[in-house]
Structure 1
Amino acid sequence: MKSILTFFLVLLAFCLSAQDYPESYMCYKAGSDIAIDGLLSDEEWGKANWTSKFVDIEGDKKPKPKYKTRVKMLWDENYFYIAAELQELHIWAKLKQRDTVIFYDNDFEVFIDPQGDNHRYYEFEINALNTIWDLMLAKPYRDGAPAINAWDIKGLKSAVKVYGTLNNPKDKDKKWTVEIAFPWEVLKECAYQGRKPKSGEQWRVNFSRVNWEVEHKDGKYHKKINPKTGKTYPEYNWVWSPQGVIAMHQPETWGYVEFTDEIVGGKELTPRIDQDYPAKIELIRLYTLEKKMYEKYGKYFNKITSNYPVLIETTRKQFLISIQSASGKTWYINQESKLWTE
């Protein structure tokens, strides 16, 4: 019976749509050094595959983005490399001070959860001026964690190339490209065993692009105002792996990046499917129900209907939920949405 259930859940994982199972990417090793100049002209980038095009953060609920965005990834012994291409007819940026809220401009964002446990993850934002905001989160905002803005990625390299003219509304631009080199020496701080990934291991990663409606006045770009409200129109949020809601800080729905020692341009590999993913999402569903019931009744409940055999332990202010996944592992989640297995 257990083998039949395992087969069914694994088969289900393969059949899930892009909105039900996250995007995935095989990250190959670079065979030579990569110059971080924003040009994406290194031979190694030419061998790497693009991700799928970005979609709206809510997925199929919303129309496709009007501008194409896509990403490539590579790694070596020292860095995790990101290359991004963002098509745009009018490229603008105003913010120049590091660690300001970069998404007030049009920006490109990277999210990295090394252990895939929803806790201790990184966020990085960059605009067309190559102004950056790097921060760490101990846990998601939904669980009460503030952003640690004082945290900096020492040894980071980044560059931007604008194909057009920056902040000039008189013409039409083509795109801007971004290159980033994240040093493992920093990323490994929140990684399993305090190290960079081994071949075959997966990290949870996602990318986001914030894009505002703009208009031209007095030779400058201005965010477009909704005449009915007197406020700026809400920004577009375009992402690699859709979230289902307008919220980037739910790492359980980020994409899977699998690292391999194979050199880029050689053997073609396919990222493995996480057969435990359905169990993890069920734990998130149960976590969400517990939170809602606590808000309504002032307590957690130790009995909730689930398609999985589930064990719930509660106290007045805490809970621990465990279920067995298709792989036979027991997975846990607590009141701060931390996911882990033993």
Structure 2
Amino acid sequence: MFLILVAFGVCAQDYPESYMCFKTNTEMKIDGLLSQEEWGKAKWSNKFVDIEGDAKPKPTYKTRVKMLWDEDYFYIAAELEEPHIWAKLKQRDTVIFYDNDFEVFIDPQGDNHNYYEFEVNALNTIWDLLIAKPYRDGAPAINAWDIKGMKSAVKVYGTLNDPSDKDKKWCIEMAFPWQVLKECAYQGRKPKSGEQWRVNFSRVNWDIEIVDGKYQKKINPDTGKAYPEHNWVWSPQGVIAMHQPETWGYVEFSDQAVGEKSMSPKKDLDYPTKKELIRLYYLEKKMFKKYGKYFDKITSDHEISIETTSRQFLISIKGESGKNWYINQESKIWSE
């Protein structure tokens, strides 16, 4: 038995971004225009920030999203301001963030496991992935998986791949079928009114320059390589890493028709508990790397219980809601 006193952990924000997703009773046309009355009733999210949060400057260009849902789809609309819109990749399931792109991350159960990633560029070339657990826990992305029945469209306000003029923005409209998303959801179903899923959005934006009348990524003369991309997100991660589902935003689904009245999402009373579990997870990983074992005694401001074996651990904390929350060595979080 060991006692460790530490000040170690990852915290992106006091509380993630949240959004109330209202229902639409109108058939949505996926064309990228966002011109339907239902979209006009839905509120825009807060503008995106740097992935590291307040530690970095605000994004150069504005990005924001809206959300709706009905019995068949989860709808997402995105607006990305950009004076020079370009895209090259045309092959589905290639690495889309080598272009400027927009990305959607959905964790239906909020347990850090079995979540979805979707990327799209201005050519409407998509890359969809199913991820069993975060990369930090050793799981590969499942690239062969496809979101069957998913619909997307892009509208460019300007001229794509034309450096001779200035563009305004590009908009994306997406419809994710519940028939697919429910596979990783609680009880294998779409959300009920009042339930929340963990969701985040990312925009990858590269610095570009015009060479011989064409766009190319701006090259750092000291390295001969392109400057690193910018990562702008809805809910900040605290580090340059999107695959931390515990720091994604909260989307609450409401049966209330969009535009009828204003409502705010519920606050997750147990979010501080989940943050502490993640801090302890990272600490256990650090100690295992250094000492080759997990520890069953760690100092915490919470009353905790830890069970360990030579290769596994299970930490539990009672949350403000009265639920007992758990985390294991693969960063899976759940309650009983």
* 1:228 corresponding residue in structure 2: 222
1:168 matched to 2:162 = yes
**245, 248, 261: which one aligns with 2:255:** 261
Q: Distance in 1 between matches of 2:329 and 2:279?
A: 12
**108, 118, 134: which one aligns with 1:114:** 108
Q: Distance in 2 between matches of 1:154 and 1:138?
A: 18
Verify the 8 A CA contact 2:154 2:171 in the aligned structure 1: yes
Verify the 8 A CA contact 2:16 2:248 in the aligned structure 1: yes
* 2:131 corresponding residue in structure 1: 137
Compute the TM-score of the two structures, normalised by the length of structure 2.
Answer: 0.96
The structural deviation recorded for 1:204 is 0.1
Paired amino acid for 1:60: D
**204, 213, 223: which one aligns with 1:210:** 204
**283, 286, 291: which one aligns with 1:292:** 286
* 1:271 corresponding residue in structure 2: 265
Q: Distance in 1 between matches of 2:97 and 2:301?
A: 40
Paired amino acid for 1:280: K
The structural deviation recorded for 1:229 is 1.3
Q: How does 1:190-205 map to 2 (within 5 A)?
A: 190-205=184-199
The structural deviation recorded for 1:38 is 0.3
1:48 matched to 2:42 = yes
Q: Distance in 2 between matches of 1:341 and 1:194?
A: 17
* 1:237 corresponding residue in structure 2: 231
Seq. identity, %: 80
The structural deviation recorded for 1:278 is 0.2
Q: How does 1:1-342 map to 2 (within 5 A)?
A: 19-342=13-336
The structural deviation recorded for 1:254 is 0.1
Verify the 8 A CA contact 2:12 2:239 in the aligned structure 1: no
The structural deviation recorded for 1:267 is 1.7
- SS in structure 2 at match of 1:189: helix
Paired amino acid for 2:288: Y
Compute the TM-score of the two structures, normalised by the length of structure 1.
Answer: 0.95
The structural deviation recorded for 1:299 is 0.3
- SS in structure 1 at match of 2:22: strand
The structural deviation recorded for 1:219 is 1.5
Paired amino acid for 1:209: R
Unaligned runs of 5+ in 2: 1-10
The structural deviation recorded for 1:18 is 8.3
The structural deviation recorded for 1:19 is 2.1
The structural deviation recorded for 1:188 is 0.3
The structural deviation recorded for 1:31 is 2.4
Q: Deviations over 1:66-88 (max 9, x none)?
A: 10000000000000000000000
- SS in structure 1 at match of 2:105: strand
The structural deviation recorded for 1:65 is 0.2
Paired amino acid for 1:163: Y
Q: Distance in 2 between matches of 1:208 and 1:77?
A: 26
- SS in structure 2 at match of 1:112: strand
Unaligned runs of 5+ in 1: 1-16
Aligned residues: 326
CA RMSD of aligned residues (A): 0.9
Q: Distance in 1 between matches of 2:17 and 2:290?
A: 35
Paired amino acid for 2:282: T
Q: Distance in 1 between matches of 2:171 and 2:14?
A: 29
Q: Deviations over 1:253-287 (max 9, x none)?
A: 00000000000010211100000000000000000
**Greater Cα shift, 30-39 or 110-119:** 30-39
Paired amino acid for 1:322: S
Q: Deviations over 1:26-45 (max 9, x none)?
A: 00001211100000001000
Q: Distance in 2 between matches of 1:177 and 1:18?
A: 28
List structure 1 runs of 4+ shifted beyond 4 angstroms.
none
**Greater Cα shift, 255-264 or 222-231:** 222-231
Q: Deviations over 1:127-165 (max 9, x none)?
A: 000000000000000000100000000001000000000
